Amino acid sequence: MKRSELKTMIRKIVREEVASAIHEVITELKEPTEVQPPEHVSEMEPTYINNNNNSNRQFSSNKVLNDVLNETANGDGWRTMGDKTYTSDSIGSILANQYKDIGDRVPDKISGEQMIESMGMNPETVPDHITKALSRDYSELLKLSKEKSRRRR
């Protein structure tokens, strides 16, 4: 298989997956949601007042994205996430909890057949050279590419 054919195939698959994901998100956004305040909020927590007189600003030319951004900007639900109100003083603990195991993560290796099945195709109908291309370990190739680019500099 030529590199251009593989690129075209990957582009087509990515395009289909992105279109599917966008369709799901838009469907979720169109559904009305009812927000209930958390039970653990006490009366002593600060109350935030929206001083923004312009309730519908133009953040983006994309209507759906603009609606979501306006909803976020005009609401104050983002101020209390989880169990407490977050401020700039809490960023250290947030980052420490979020990224504590970043060095320990090992990517899952999946076979070419598993990848093909995840794309909704039958592995038996896909040519072997594509299956091999999807399951090949490209780490050595990337090392050689980095080494070659260093030599050019």
Q: What is the pLDDT of residues 26-56, one digit of tens each?
A: 888 877 666 665 665 555 555 444 545 456 8
- CA nearest 74: which of 61, 56, 60? 56
Cβ(116)–Cβ(134) under 8 Å?
yes
Q: Give the separation between CA 82 and CA 38, rounded to whole angstroms.
A: 9
Check residue 42 and give its pLDDT.
52
- On the CB side of 133, CA atoms within 13 Å amount to 13
| SS3 of residue 7 by DSSP | helix
Q: Please state the pTM of the whole predicted model.
A: 0.27
Model confidence at 93, pLDDT cuts 50, 70, 90, reads confident
Separation CA 148–CA 153 (nearest Å):
9
Beta strands in the chain (DSSP E): 80-81, 84-85
